[in-house]
Amino acid sequence: MVKLTKSQDDHGKSREEIISEWVAQQSQAARQGRKARRLPEGEATVTINSLMDAMTIILVFLLMNYSIDPLRVDSSEDLKLPPSTTDINPEPSATVTITAKGIVVNDEVVATLNADGQVDKTKKLGGDETALQIQPLFEALNEEASRQKEVSRLAGSRFDGLLTVIAHGETPYRLVTEVLYTAGQAEFSRYKFAVLKGGQRGT
């Protein structure tokens, strides 16, 4: 008791009182600090770490699939590929796309089709309706063949003359043969038809 009396300061507080006051102040400051870090009433945060992980995995998966796909087909009402039971994968090659409205080479429409799915006779060789050669297609494919030959020459390989035909399922057979004939005239000699995998036989 004597000691306590001695420890009294000028304000008349004992040492224990000062200590307990200081502890109370510290804990109040800590409480206020925690409270200050807290969001205002009614708001919350979302932990996005796990979401970030999932999105990174999805992004890597999509990029891998994107990079190994040698043939890209943007399906639409005008370009619905026929289904097939084939399991052969496409190879990089020149492509001709036959939609319900036109024939496309290298993203450029070279000929438009009429309502019957035929090319206008003025676009055919000699303006003859029965001709098989579609002149604007021939010119586009000839240019593509020349370009590929030049690339093959520089690469020291041989021009393989491979052409992938991406055709709408409702394309008339006559037009398909006209496209193949024209491609043959432009020195493309190997053909592949692009189809949708997973079709059923005989249905």
Partner 1 sequence: MARSKKKTISTEIEDLNLVPIMNLVVCLIPMVLVGMSLVKIGVINVNAPRFGMGQAEPSDDEEKPLGLTIAIAEDGFRLTATGADINTELGEAPAAPAGDPAAAAMPQPGVFIAKNGDVYNYTELYNKLVVLKDNHADETIVNLTADAKIPFKFVIKVMDSIRFRLETDKYDDAESFTAASPKMESNQQVLLWPDVVFAVAKQ
Binding region for partner 1 (CB under 8 A): 48-49, 51-52, 55-56, 58-59, 62-63, 65-66, 69, 71-75, 81-91, 116, 130, 132, 164, 167-174, 176-177, 180-181, 184, 189-203
**Amino acid, res. 140:** A
Contact 139, 52 (CB under 8 A): no
Q: Which is nearer to partner 1, 6 or 11 (CB)?
A: 6
Least Cβ distance, residue 150 to partner 1 (angstroms)? 23
Q: How far is CA 186 from CA 136, 138, 142, in A?
A: 11, 6, 5
How far is 17 from 43, CA to CA, in rounded Å? 40
Pair type for strands 102-105 and 94-98: antiparallel
Contact 164, 70 (CB under 8 A): no
Which residues, 6+ apart, have CB-to-CB distance to 108 below 8 Å? 140
Q: Which is nearer to partner 1, 129 or 150 (CB)?
A: 129
What tokens appear for 112 in the block?
């438009």
Q: Which is nearer to partner 1, 159 or 191 (CB)?
A: 191
Least Cβ distance, residue 26 to partner 1 (angstroms)? 11
Contact 190, 161 (CB under 8 A): yes
Q: Which is nearer to partner 1, 11 or 38 (CB)?
A: 38
Task: List the beta bridge partners of residue 113.
Answer: 119
Least Cβ distance, residue 43 to partner 1 (angstroms)? 16
Least Cβ distance, residue 147 to partner 1 (angstroms)? 21
Q: Which is nearer to partner 1, 4 or 57 (CB)?
A: 57
